[in-house]
Amino acid sequence: MKAYVQTLPAFLGGKPVVDPALPVSHKWPILTDADEQAVLEILRDGNLSTHPVIHRLEEDYRRLTGRRWALAHCNGTTALLAAFFAAGIGPGDEVLVPSATFWASALPMLWLGALPVFCESEPERLGIDPEDVEKKITPKTRAIVIVHLWGLPCQVDRLRDIAKRHNLLIIEDASHAHGAAWQGLPAGSFGDISVFSLQGDKLAPGGEGGVLLCDDDRYFEQAACLGDIHRIAGLKGPRRRFAATGFGLKTRIAPLSAAIARTQLAALTANNRTRGENIRYLADKLEALGIDTFPDDGSTRRVYFEFIVRADPRKTGLPVDALLAALHAEGAQASAPRYPLLHQQPFFTEGHFKTIARLEDGFPYPDYRRTALPRTEAVNQELIRLPLFLGAGRDLLDQYADAFGRIIAHAPKVLAKWEDSSYNR
């Protein structure tokens, strides 16, 4: 910290530390000849709808997660709808979900008449808080949605224990966590039903796509019934009788997406390593400055869908908005995380969820007040999204560390100027 005291932050008139000539690469996905070849193969084959590449992708995911069944979908949202449907979740059921996640972890269940009950997230791993989960269980509760947010495995052991004791299902949303592990077991192996999104930003993207995974034949068959018409015809059991109609949706992935998803999955380990190496180099330096970078503990192998850090004002001496303003002055890219808390969104606060879930007047519904989750809200306000530093060199990473360091070293003066200035309006 001493070294940092000697250099004035740009916010206080010093020279910005981040060299604008060193671009922060956001280019993702990294598409190579392998992706081109895979797409060309499908085009040359000419089967744009039911190509066997879909089965190969499912086989890849079975191998990745050790699951018995995989069913590819046109996107992760649909795969989550199929997961809720296959689990038999329906009208009046309650499902415990984190509010701090992408909306697709929760909202599809409303189309089945089920209601998300939002829970606090815990500050260590940013996953759904086991303590709050246990408090919110009612006789109507059927399942817990667990999400490995930003690539950080959530508290799988405690959540599984709660599910077991209360006879609840676990729906695992592993959309941010391709390649992550908890106690040596892969993300995607922890839910009664688990789901990955393959959307274009994800760690193993296919453009648009999703994969549902499970071990129980009944879940697989019921998920197929929702909208994978070819698959229904191939079922051995009585559900085969739905082959002419399904249940009114169409959920199959496009082969072109499946082809890209396969080559991207083959590159996952190498790509995760590159992201991880750069980020961990910077994260070590930020930890020394009191910034929580959510590093692995003995039980986790995390991945970085996004690089999110927590800047607790009690440790940095600065409110997050002041820190962000000072980082921007240094030329650094930093912002609030991209997901607003779900329970605070107009879809819930204005009551629109009732129309989708077809709730009768007077049906008691969960607490969707904006103030319902104070602990999650408090932590969320301290989170900062940093670049992924794909392909960045050490010089750029050092500059980001310096930016944080000199700002924090001069926190009282930065704070005084920020409080005094238009930044704070």
The answer to whether 199 contacts ligand PLP (rule: CB under 6 A) is: yes
The answer to whether 172 contacts ligand PLP (rule: CB under 6 A) is: no
The answer to whether 272 contacts ligand PLP (rule: CB under 6 A) is: no
In the complex, least distance from residue 351 CB atom to ligand PLP, rounded to whole angstroms: 24
Place of tokens 């606090």: 120
Alpha-carbon span 242 to 264, nearest angstrom: 34
By beta-carbon proximity to ligand PLP, the closer residue of 78 and 316 is 78
Alpha-carbon span 98 to 146, nearest angstrom: 8
Q: What are phi and psi of 39, to 5 degrees?
A: -70, -45
Alpha-carbon span 425 to 423, nearest angstrom: 6
Q: How far is CA 254 from CA 54, 206, 219, 263, in A?
A: 8, 10, 22, 15
Among 65, 99, 101, 272, the residue binding ligand PLP under the rule CB under 6 A is 101
* Other beta carbons within 10 Å of 216: 14
Measured between its terminal Cα atoms, the distance across the chain in Å is 30
Residues 126-165 that bind ligand PLP (CB under 6 A): 147
Are 17 and 406 a contacting pair, CB within 8 Å? yes
In the complex, least distance from residue 75 CB atom to ligand PLP, rounded to whole angstroms: 4
The answer to whether 76 contacts ligand PLP (rule: CB under 6 A) is: yes
The answer to whether 118 contacts ligand PLP (rule: CB under 6 A) is: no
Three-state secondary-structure class, residue 85:
helix
The answer to whether 210 contacts ligand PLP (rule: CB under 6 A) is: yes
Q: Which stretch binds ligand PLP (CB under 6 A): 71-79, 183-191, 381-389, 391-399?
A: 71-79
DSSP 182: E
In the complex, least distance from residue 192 CB atom to ligand PLP, rounded to whole angstroms: 17
By beta-carbon proximity to ligand PLP, the closer residue of 307 and 400 is 307
The answer to whether 105 contacts ligand PLP (rule: CB under 6 A) is: yes
The answer to whether 104 contacts ligand PLP (rule: CB under 6 A) is: yes
By beta-carbon proximity to ligand PLP, the closer residue of 264 and 316 is 264
Tokens at 113, concatenated = 């008449």
**Chain positions contacting ligand PLP, by CB under 6 A:** 75-77, 101-102, 104-105, 147, 173, 175-176, 197, 199, 210
